[in-house]
Amino acid sequence: MAETVGTLTRADLADTMNRRMGFSRSESLELVESLLNHMCEALSKGENVKVSGFGSFILRDKAERIGRNPKTGVEVPITSRRVLTFRASQLLKQRIDAAA
C-alpha cells in the first residue's frame, strides 16, 4: 500500500526558488503567482498548456450523455461540459517509476 505524502504548495515552490536561486521570498512568491496566473489565463482562453519534461494540461469538451443514479437506477441527463485533464510527460513518468 502506498504511503501518504504531503502536498506541495505555492509557498513550498517559492521557498525552493528562494533557496536555490537566491530570489527574495516576495520575488519568489511573485514569480510562482505570475506563472500560475499565466497558465490559468491560457486555459480559460481555451488553450492547452504544455510544460516540457513535466506534462500537458489539456482541455476537452464532453458531449451531453445519459447517466444513471447509482442509488435509484433512474436515468438522468448529464449536460455537456469542458473538462481539464493532465497527461504526464514520459520523463515525469520515468522519474515517478524510479522513485517507487
At residue 62, what is the residue type? K
How many C-beta neighbours within 10 Å does residue 92 have?
14
User: Both 41 and 52 in a single domain?
Assistant: no
Asked if pLDDT for residue 99 goes beyond 50, the answer is yes
Average pLDDT over residues 14-27: 93
Q: For residues 63 and 29, is the Cβ–Cβ distance under 8 A?
A: no
Are 70 and 90 contained in the same domain?
A: yes
Q: Where are the alpha helices (DSSP H) in the chain?
A: 10-21, 25-44, 90-99
65 shares a domain with 37? no
How does pLDDT run across 50-93, given as a tens digit for each residue? 999 999 999 999 999 999 999 999 999 999 999 999 999 999 99
Domain range enclosing 92: 48-100
Cα maximum dimension of the chain: 59
Q: Does position 19 have pLDDT exceeding 50, yes or no?
A: yes
Confidence band for 27, pLDDT divided at 50, 70 and 90? very high
Tell whether 59 and 23 lie within a shared domain. Answer: no
Q: Which of 63, 61, 37, 39 is nearest to 49 (CA)?
A: 39
Q: Tell me, yes or no, whether 28 lies in a domain.
A: yes
Q: How far is CA 22 from CA 9, 19, 27, 28, in A?
A: 19, 6, 10, 9
Residue 1: pLDDT above 90?
no
Looking at the structure, tell me whether residues 53 and 99 fall in a common domain.
yes
